[in-house]
Structure 1
Amino acid sequence: MASHHIVLFGLLALSFSLVLATDNNPLFDICVPDPKSPGSKVTLLNAQQIPGLNSLGISFARIDFQPGGINPLHLHPRGSEILTVIEGTLEVGFVTSSPDYRLFTKVLQKGDVFVFPAGLVHYQKNPEHVPAVAYASLNSQNPGSILLANTAFGSTPKINTDILVKTFLLDKKVIRHGQQKF
């Protein structure tokens, strides 16, 4: 009888360890590539493309940068990112949250690594006249990706112009021009 309790306890402990080992944010975002992107192309690999990654809590991306190309201001709400430069040079940076909104930047060369904490606004830029390539690993099965400009100016339906004027401290004409771009 005691052996049954030990087996039951062992199975219970194993099930709890599996629950703790899974990604705590199994939500799914839709990431649609923009063919008019500003000189960068992100190729994402996650559990949707590679089912074997399901429940491992990781995803991966390859980012190809044209000369002068930018991966614009964005954030990953459910995962931190570690970026490794494979070819070329990248200027990278992230902004801390309130109250100080401090910008941390660095110019990376081939082989250099940089970490972007989860939920913080960040970017990458190729400052050179030759292409660059980076690999990004994220500690979430689906970290999400929120592009700031797309979110503010490209929503459907449009965000009220008065709200965007107050948010960005810009003239209504500038806000309307931004909305027309999307």
Structure 2
Amino acid sequence: MNASIFLINTLFELYLMVVILRIWLQLAKADFYNPLSQFVVKATHPLVAPMRRVLPAIGSLDTASVVLAILVVVAKLIAISLVAGAAIDPVVIALFSLVAVIKKAGFMLFWMLIIRAILSWFNNGYNPIVMVIEQLTEPVMAPVRKIIPPIGGLDLSVMLVLIGMNFLNLLLSQYIPFWANV
């Protein structure tokens, strides 16, 4: 049973990350022709395209992709509940799903910032993955760099953003149900 739950959780989490990347790539207006962007679009298009006919975008936010991300978590929770033989509470699943999508996006931002910081030490040439990571994280980094510019070639903005994200996570875990449990 644990192996089944692990497999279900892993597959749904991986697809959730791809769907969140699609939302993020569109919001950041990242390079559509990048190989990573092409993979994300091709992996999510079969489910997003029909939903777009019903759910129009709100500004630059693709609501079909947001709804798909929430539905992926709902499907994961229902599948795990069925395998584990647990009760299915629609209200709990709905709240948990919304919180899970937000936390997964924050988790992905955290690791992209870490990867960007590490790659900045070693990357000397053009790499399409590095370019997408920079395009995705720059909207978060640029406002912080305006407040604290790089000092002697050392960019402290990543550290400040990570501290701010950790503070926000701890603050939200006190006031939002399920936040600490996701």
Which TM-score bucket, shorter chain as reference?
Answer: under 0.3
More strand by share: 1
Structure (1 or 2) with the larger CA radius of gyration: 1
